[in-house]
Amino acid sequence: MGRPAKGRALHTRPLVLVRAASTSESPVRDKSARQRTIARSIWLTVPGTLAVLGLAALLPAMSGMDELNRRMAMTLGWLLVALLPYVASCLHIAAARFFEGSHDPLAGAESERLRIHCRVMQNTLEQLVWFAFSALAFAAFASPGQMRLVPVACGFFAFARFVYWWGYLRSATLGRAPGVQMTFTLNVTLFVYAIMLAARQLAW
């Protein structure tokens, strides 16, 4: 009666080892696949974002931008456009919580789709703070001709955040990549541009 038990133990041990080896290797393969998927869209989103920002130079010059208060007022007006994705996500979450009955955020009763909306709202707010400060700093030091970039940047920010939202809902975590890349490229470019303008003006 004891021998069959030993035989079964000997046969199950390699299976356990094989199963453990496969589970230890799978995260590596998954990580590589995720990296390839994310990197695949960079070749389009980063140059595409820079190209859109470059198109601002082709727009007609904006009049009445010589004074600082006019530049700041114009930028604040266009920041309302950049605010649209955040407002839309807040309104959508409020409606979803009402119809799902997930009124208590601490109860953990939200559906997966609602949790995605909440993460979109939080990430959009974080990126909006970065973008808004960069845009206002840019407007403070920009010349009247450079102010053509503000409407383009604000409109493209809203577009990138809607792409992020749509991609997250469509393909979960990896679907966020194009929207993240466009937003990050925009924010970094505008931030660096604002620093360069400020440094040049302060150096004078």
**Tokens 């970094």 found at:** 188
- Which bin fits 172, alpha (ψ -120 to 50), beta or left (φ > 0)? left
Question: Which band of pLDDT confidence, cut at 50, 70 and 90, is reported for residue 13?
Answer: very low
What letter would DSSP give residue 62?
P
pLDDT digit string, tens, across residues 148-157? 999 999 999 9
pLDDT digit string, tens, across residues 18-69? 343 344 334 435 888 777 877 888 999 999 999 999 999 899 888 889 999 9
The pLDDT value recorded for residue 37 is: 77
* Residue 70 CB contacts under 8 Å (≥ 6 apart), including other chains: 64
| Spatial distance between the Cα atoms of 172 and 162, rounded to a whole number of angstroms | 14
| Domains present along the chain, CATH in parentheses | 41-203 (1.20.120.550)
Output 182 or 200, whichever has higher pLDDT.
182
Q: Is the pLDDT of residue 106 over 80?
A: no
**Tokens 């003006």 found at:** 201
Q: Which two tokens mark 61?
A: 């010059």
* Residue 182 CB contacts under 8 Å (≥ 6 apart), including other chains: 45, 48, 49, 156, 159, 160, 163, 164
Rounded to 5 degrees, φ, ψ at 59 are -75, 155
The vertex-198 CA angle with 196 and 199, nearest 5°, equals 65
Percent of the residues in the chain that have a pLDDT greater than 70, as a whole number: 85
Output 103 or 151, whichever has higher pLDDT.
151
Q: Is the pLDDT of residue 124 over 90?
A: yes
The pLDDT value recorded for residue 3 is: 52
The pLDDT value recorded for residue 19 is: 41
Task: Write down the mean pLDDT value for the chain.
Answer: 85
Q: Which two tokens mark 190?
A: 């505008």
